[in-house]
Amino acid sequence: MTTALITGATAGIGAEFARQLAARGTDLVLVARDADRLQRTADFLRGEHGVEVETIEADLVTEPGVAAVEARLRDDAHPVDLLVNNAGHGLVTDFAASSLDDEVRHLDLHVGVPLRLTHTAMQGMLARRRGRIVLISSVAAFTPRGSYGAAKAWGVSFARWANLRYRRRGVSVTAVAPGFTRTEFHERMGVSTDGIPAFLWLDVRDLVRLALRDIDRGRSVSIPTLRYKVVAGLARILPARVAAAGSLAPND
């Protein structure tokens, strides 16, 4: 890979993808809303790894924000070889108690935006007969978890189909489905994580390392670590009420 575009690239899983890809020598296009944090991240990665780093300040729940990223993905003179659809957030309120506007924005960010960016990136990748597309999903995709789990399930289902369809034409699509990960995700939502057992937590460095291994292999779904493979497997066979019990996932 020569150039990777990462959405939500200044925090959590997106930032770790940027660090590990830069360490490989991959040039980067970083997309985020916070201009100052975006610039600090870019400066650090340039200085630490000597890679080229572009930045796009964009709010992906706005049309101009998505359009700016789509325009970069269409730039055939400087092609993007790896697209990481990472931007996202959770909702802490029950579905019926959430505002409809919040739910629609949430769905758009997790489904509409990655669909648009994937569709745009796919055109150039298929023409060049090479490329990888990543959808950051969640182990919540395999369990009853409100509109968050439903949105994340789209990424898994789409990746399974798209990888079958396009991998033989040089483009692989991988949904990465992690469990609880030490990032800013829960803190930003104001959700307590005190009740989550220590053994369920993933280190973001390990998560991304394992995810990149599966992405490199062209797998359609990556569930980092054996323990979360077991969780996902059990969720498929347990009754819905049992699978949903005890969750601290967003929008439970």
CA atoms within 13 A on the CB side of 126: 13
Spatial CA neighbour of 46 closest among 30, 67, 65 = 30
Residues annotated as catalytic are 148
Rounded Cα gap, residues 196 and 62, in angstroms: 34
- Say how far apart CA 75 and CA 79 lie, in whole Å: 6
DSSP secondary structure, 155-179, as one string? HHHHHHHHHHHHGGGTEEEEEE---
Q: Which residues contact 238 (CB under 8 A, 6 or more apart)?
A: none
